Every structure is written in C-alpha cells, then in structure tokens.
A = this chain, B = another copy of it.
Amino acid sequence: MTTNDIADRPVGLDALLYPRSIAVIGASNDPTKMTGRAIRHLKSYNFDGRLVAINPTRPEVQGIPSYPTLDDVEGDIDLAMIMQAAAHVPDTLRACAKRGITAAIVAASGFAETGTEQGAALQLELDEALAETGIRILGPNCLGMISVRDRAVVTFTSALDDDVPLSLGPVALVSQSGAFGSFLFNAGLQEGLGWSHYFATGNETDLTVSELLLTLSAADEVTVLTAYMEGVNSGPGLIAAAQAASRADKPLVIVKSGRSAAGATAARSHTASLAGEDAVFDGVAAQHGILRVEGVEPLLDAAMTFSSGRRARGRRVTSLSVSGGSGVVWADAASARGLDVVTWNEEWSQQLTRVEPQLASFQNPIDLGANVYIKPHMLREALDTVLDHPETDLIAVLLGCADSIFDELIDIIEDAHNRTDRPIVVVWTGGNGQARKRLGKLGIPCFSDPLRAAVSLALLCDHSLRVDHGAPIRPEGIDHAAAARVISAARAAGRTQLTEHESTRLIAAYGVPTALAHLAATDDEAVEAARAIGRPVAIKVHSSRIGHKSDIGGVRLGLTEPEEIRATAQELLPLIHDLGESRPELLVQQMVHGDLELIIGTKQDPIFGPVVVVGFGGTLVEVLRESRVATAPVTHQHAVEMLTSLRGSDVFGEIRGRAAMDLDMIAEVITRVSWLAAEATGDLAELDVNPLMLHAEPMAVTAVDALAVLTVPRNEASTTLNSNGDTTDADHH
C-alpha cells in the first residue's frame, strides 16, 4: 500500500460511483460464461484502474492477476463484484469489510425474491452481514453497474457482448430491471447519447433507485437523471431524490411501468417489489417534478434533449423548414403538446422578407423552400432573424435527406447554436443518418420525426418552467385540540368509523367550511334545529353503523314546513334504532345549493403515506373519472394546479353566464384537508368529503357530507396500514 493509494481512495458511495480498484470475486477464466463476463468487459473496455480477480484455483483469470482470497491482495480495493452463489455472499461481504472495502455488487439471486424458505433464510443472513459490516451493496440479483468516465464496466450483461463503444456524457441511468436497463443503455449508445453511469439495482436489499438518484443528483458530472422503475420501495425516498434533483436543476426522467392492470401484474411477478398505485405515482410525479415517460425512445429522446443543458424561457417556438409539409406536421405536433407556434407580427415577417426574399413562407412555421439546398445561406439569413426575434423561446429546424450536402447546413446551425442560449432542435427525416450523427456530436438534439422533437421540447419546457413552490405552509386557524377530541371520542368508544357529524367536526376543526347542522334526538328537537338553522333543511339518519345513508332511504332533502320536519323525524328515528343505536339521533342540516360538486378525499398510500385526492363529483364523476392525487400536505399553489390540470377544468371558468369559480377558495379547502391527512396520519385511514359543494355567485365552498374512517389500532391490525403509512411488505427488499 502506498501513500498515494490512500490519498486517491474514494469515500462513501464514491467507491461505487468512481471505483479506482475492483476485485471480481468468483471470476471465471471463460469470458463467455456469466461469471467471466465482468472481467471480459472490464478488459475490453480498458478499465482505467486496478483490476484483480479472486479465484482460488488460478494465478491468472483472463490474463488478470488472480488471488486465492481477498486477504492475499496487496493494496486497497474500492469495489467488490461478487459473482459467487448466494450462500457464499454473507461471508464474502464480511471478508470485504475486513479488507476495508465499502461497496460491493452482489450478482447472485436466491434470496427473498424466490419466495422459498431457503431464500428467506439467506436473506436474513445477508441482512445481518450488511448490518454488521456497514458495507453498501447493489443487489442482490443484480446485473452490475457502469461508470463511463472510469471505463468501469462492472457487469455481466450480454448487452455489451458486441463491444459497442462507450460515449461519455451527462446522463445517468438507474434501472430496477437489469436486462431492460442494459437495452436502454445500449440503445442510447447506438443513438450517440453520452452516459455517465448505469446502475442496475436488482432486489434493492440496500441501495434503491431513489438513493442512487439522490446521490447522482449531487454528482457534478451528471446533469440528467433517468430511471426505469417497476415499484417504489420508499415513497419518501423517491420524493427526496426528486426534490434534490429539482433543486440542482437536474431533470429526472422516469419510465415507471405497471401503469396498466396487466403491467402491474407482471411487475409483481417479475421482481420482489410492489407496484405502487399508478394514479398516486402520476400525482407524485406532477407534484415533485418527475418527468414520467412511456417507453424506450421517449426516455432516450428526453435524455438527448436535456444533454444540451439548455433551458426554455417559454413555450413559444419558431420553426424553419425545407418543406412546407414538414412545417405543417411540426406545427400540429408542437401545438398538440402545448407548445405555442408563435405568430410573427407584421414587422418581423417584413424583416424576414427583407433579409431573405426567396423564402416560401414568411410566417411561422417558416418555409425556406427546397432552394435552401442549393443556397444554404438562406438558412443562415433566416436563422439570424429568428435569433433576433424576441418572441421566440425555442427554435426547430426541419430538414431531410440530402446528407451529401449537409455539411454547410450543419455548420450554419452550429454557428447559430453557439450564438444563443435558447434550445435549438433539428428534425432530419430520411437520409443515411450522417447528418443526425454529426448534430448529435455537436450536442444539438436531432430527431427523425417532428413528433418526437415536439414531445421532447415539451418535456424540456415542463422542466424549465416548473416553479418550485417551496415547502407547504401550515394554514392558520387549525384547532388541533378539537380534531383530537373527535378522534379520541371515537377511539374511546372502540369505533373506527366516524359519524357524519363527527367527520364534519373533524374537517371543521381544520377550517373547512361545512353546512350548518344540529343533532336532534326527538321530533321537537328536529323542528327547533330547523328553526335555528333556517329552513329548508335536510334531515339525515345519523349513525356510525352505516356508510351510505341513502341506501336505506335515510336522507330527506328540502324540508320546509315544521309539520313535514316533525313527520320525517318520527319516521326516521325508529330506523336508527333498528340500526342498533341505543340513543338514536338525526342530523338536521342546512340545504346547500351549488353549481358544481367536487369530491375531496384522503387515504394512506402504502408507498407514499398520506395523500389527498380531488376529483369531480356528481354526474361528472361517472363521465370523467378525473382526479388528481398529491402527497399531503400540499402547497396552496399545487392545490390550484391540481384543479386546473383536471380534464374538464374549463367548468371552473365562466360558463353559461355563471361567474368563474374562485380557485383559491377551493384550493384552500384542499390544502386544509391535506394538512389533516398529514397530521392525523397515524389515526386517519380514509376521508371522503363528498360532495364539496361549489357555488359561484357569491362564491362559496361548503362540505355537505363527510365520512372519516380511522386506522385499526396497531395491536389489533394484521395486514392493514401502520401509523407510518407503510405496509409490512413495503419495508422489505
């Protein structure tokens, strides 16, 4: 060991991210065998560090010095790649720790994911070894990792058997599926994308996708984060990673599978991880700035676009095309994805005419016409004007074929690219691919289809223009003690279901406006309550023994006359008695009319903890099935975004002569309900406020009915949620 070795040694997860010395334990001399592939790759990709093999039977493995045990190796080792069978892994990890190794990759399967007794026993041993040594591992059941800078291809994947050349870049990839991740990594290389790292996480016994993303978001050379996930093992972990990425202005692009029922089933059978409910994931992505995409090409396209490092200052795009047709197809695709194909005013169109009078169209989408292939300077002159145009945030250049004359055109684009910090993308359709390749090398995003360029530019805008609303601020006027009294009373009575009146008092304690209501135990009290509230009133059966009162005819609306009220009370009270309530009571409630109904709910998500859900109520819920989910608590601004992002949100605007709704007032209720969910997370299992009645003139938001369900106390619970919102299963892997 030299002093030099010590000074160079990476600390913490750096041993994994930037290994300077690697030991492959259980390495085979046969480069075609799975156990031989890591050495093969490390050799063929010229790993830029020290490589040793641990193999008790040979002095050399594939020409690399080999030692019987780790103890026989002189000098430090940063990273161990353990290719042994599962049963050997715990002891090997102990041996690693003894040698001062802080990070390892465990390839073997055969642990918890098997579902067998033997697997569970080995998992326990593995967990113990990890706790004992503090060593950080990727895996088990893991394909390995690649650090491109160091040419550390520490993986036995067959996806690199064809020795595709590595290219270094700012994009990191973390994947729960080793094979699919390798495909993505390889496909990116084939497209000319520059990668910094690739990690396959396997079973995630220790390192998860989230922790790696969090670590990578602090790595200077990484500016784009991408991931493939099937299940989220820790909701808060993923949110922390997303927030760190957002603060570092590093886009986080994720393919999260299990969107469909079919996909989710496959995700469960494929790995030991649980697929989180899809709508919750979508909500978390929207709330915390994760860019969710659907497949291989959208992920790679986004990575390429973000690799330029450019940010959008707005969504206004101007395009220049060699073909009017390309321009129109582009304009359609861009508009459909929320980009603004900005109309050039007369002055600027005139300017274009003066500068280059031969264009085929002087309006955006600008059509250069086929002449540009003979007179490339036309592109230069038009681009100069576009660069000056103050209302252009984004620039798209649409060309095609004609690779034989591409050099001059690309020089012009490169020059323009160098003179602006605005994003420029190129669509080059057809041709032999040379032009796309050269543009890629210049760091200018290039696509073969206008559609894909539009999708990627829209993602770039989503990331660039995202406003971080900061941490949620607790609203004023929450009566925590009142809320606690409601819950304690129910707990004392051994109930988990609250009555409507209790549920309403619970949300009222958090400042949610509720309809006036009184309990009445007799017909006289009902008449008196109606008088106090103001008629007409609604009268409802009131009992914690029934969830849906209307199912038993227990809701009567619009009662005006005292005699009507008395008769109704006389009719309903025996019903409540029949439900088993020893002290039957009616709820006499103010009639609330509105223009629109919402449903606001909360639940304990097994992955992400307390979440708040908002959707349309009434008939609309049947037609639209539209809702938005967010982790609780939410910021006021995000609550507004939840409302405006609902499909059908035009209904909040001015329609049919009715005034527009005050979204802030509705968002205030969402925020307060979300704080209730967050602060009562150990007690409140579910809450439905349905309907939340919206009235436009004058604007009023009133909860007309509510139903809260408490968590089953922990000592009685077997499979249900605990107070952290995690299931027992979700804590594993």
Question: 8 A-B contacts, Cβ less than 8 Å apart?
Answer: A158-B402, A179-B325, A180-B400, A187-B400, A228-B325, A265-B331, A297-B451, A622-B651
Contact in complex: B161, A402 (CB < 8 Å) = yes
* B residues in contact with A262, CB < 8 Å: 331-332, 334-335, 341, 364-365
A410 at the B interface (CB under 8 A): no
Asked whether A367 and B270 contact (CB < 8 A) given A296-B449, A323-B183, A623-B624, the answer is yes
A467 at the B interface (CB under 8 A): no
Contact in complex: B159, A402 (CB < 8 Å) = yes
A146 to chain B, nearest CB (A): 14
Asked whether A332 and B258 contact (CB < 8 A) given A186-B400, A401-B186, A403-B162, the answer is yes
A230 at the B interface (CB under 8 A): yes
A679 to chain B, nearest CB (A): 34
Contact of A266 among B175, B266, B361, B400 (CB under 8 A): B361
Contact of A257 among B158, B260, B325, B404 (CB under 8 A): B325
* B residues in contact with A341, CB < 8 Å: 260, 262-263
A33 to chain B, nearest CB (A): 9
* B residues in contact with A719, CB < 8 Å: none
A322 at the B interface (CB under 8 A): yes
A128 at the B interface (CB under 8 A): no
A44 at the B interface (CB under 8 A): no
Within A137-196, the residues touching B (CB, 8 Å) are 158-162, 164, 175-187, 189-190
A240 at the B interface (CB under 8 A): no
Contact in complex: B333, A295 (CB < 8 Å) = yes
Contact in complex: A183, B451 (CB < 8 Å) = no
User: DSSP class of A's interface residues: helix, strand, loop or mixed?
Assistant: helix
Contact in complex: B266, A331 (CB < 8 Å) = yes
Copies in the complex: 2
Question: Which of A424-432, A525-533, A688-696 is the interface stretch?
Answer: A424-432
A386 to chain B, nearest CB (A): 16
Contact of A162 among B334, B402, B651 (CB under 8 A): B402
A360 at the B interface (CB under 8 A): yes
Q: What string of 1s and 0s marks CB contacts (under 8 Å) between A684-715 and chain B?
A: 00000000000000000000000000000000
A489 to chain B, nearest CB (A): 33
Q: How far is the CA of A656 from the CA of B361 in the complex (A)?
A: 55
List 10 extra interface pairs beyond A177-B328, A180-B324, A619-B656, CB under 8 A. A162-B404, A162-B431, A175-B325, A183-B323, A259-B335, A260-B334, A260-B336, A266-B327, A270-B328, A619-B655
Q: How far is the CA of A296 from the CA of B333 in the complex (A)?
A: 11
Q: What string of 1s and 0s marks CB contacts (under 8 Å) between A237-281 and chain B?
A: 000000000000000000101111111011101110000000000
Within A431-479, the residues touching B (CB, 8 Å) are 431-433, 448-452
A665 at the B interface (CB under 8 A): no
Contact in complex: B429, A187 (CB < 8 Å) = yes
* B residues in contact with A85, CB < 8 Å: none
Residue of B nearest to A260 (CB): B335
Q: How far is the CA of A498 from the CA of B431 in the complex (A)?
A: 59
Contact in complex: B255, A177 (CB < 8 Å) = no
